[in-house]
Amino acid sequence: MKLANYLVLCRQASERLSITGVAMNWNNWLDDYFGRFSPAFDEKVRPSLEAFHDLACQLRQNGRKLIFAGNGASASISSHGAVDFSKQAKVRAIDFNEPNLITAFSNDYGFENWIARATQIYADLGDALVLISVSGASPNVVRAAETAKHMGLQVVTFTGKAESNPLHQLGDIRFHMPSNAYNVVEAVHMLWLTTVVDMLVGQAEYSVTN
């Protein structure tokens, strides 16, 4: 190993130790970390929140549904969103997180096509598809958006990283968190989704058993 490379590794190890050491002052690190969430509260997000609220109201009135999908943590956010929209906001919603569905459709149609094929089967005219992806570039999510638009469905997108990502470009209602930090983007996606739920309910505090 070259001396320069060795010194870089030593410095990186030292930095890791300083981060995990018990004596570290976390104030600056946390100030920077929490500052990364500030775009979530920018006023330019509000038109998208209002548009999603209005779309959900329309779906509720017309007896149509939201369909949520994503990969990994975005799949978990999809499940949370589907439950809260159905239970709290009274907007029928489903997600595609059934293992048999995922494995069967991926096996038969390819992983890049399984969400699109599920959308073709489960979506009815007048439904809307909500797609969540930090990168906005996952082929199965992008193809699902393309399929939904071909079917005449409204597409709501939640993305991060570069605003030029393909999923963001395909959205009719678009949410974008300009960050490369996965946990930050995913937390903000959840925040925005639950904000719309509470907008539909009309208040922030309410009984969850009604």
pLDDT of residue 24: 80
What is the C-alpha to C-alpha distance for residues 142 and 170, in angstroms, rounded to an integer? 8
Q: What pLDDT is recorded for position 210?
A: 81
Place of tokens 């048999």: 100
Question: How far is it, in rounded angstroms, from Cα 49 to Cα 191?
Answer: 11
Pairing of strands 173-176, 93-95: unpaired
> What are 139-161's pLDDT values in tens digits?
999 999 999 999 999 999 999 99
Residue 100: CB atoms within 10 Å = 7
Q: What's the pLDDT score for residue 11?
A: 59
pTM, two decimals, is 0.88
How high is the pLDDT of residue 135? 98
pLDDT digits (tens, 9 = 90+) for 78-115: 999 999 999 999 999 999 999 999 999 999 999 999 99
**Does the pLDDT of residue 190 top 90, yes or no?**
yes
Report how far residue 119's alpha carbon sits from residue 141's, in angstroms, rounded to the nearest whole number: 11
User: Rounded to whole angstroms, how far apart are CA atoms 148 and 116?
Assistant: 8
Q: How far is CA 149 from CA 46, 48, 62, 85, in A?
A: 24, 18, 19, 22
pLDDT digits (tens, 9 = 90+) for 36-66: 999 999 999 999 999 999 999 999 999 999 9
> Given the structure tokens 């159905």, which residue do they identify?
86
Report the distance separating Cα 104 and Cα 118, nearest Å: 11
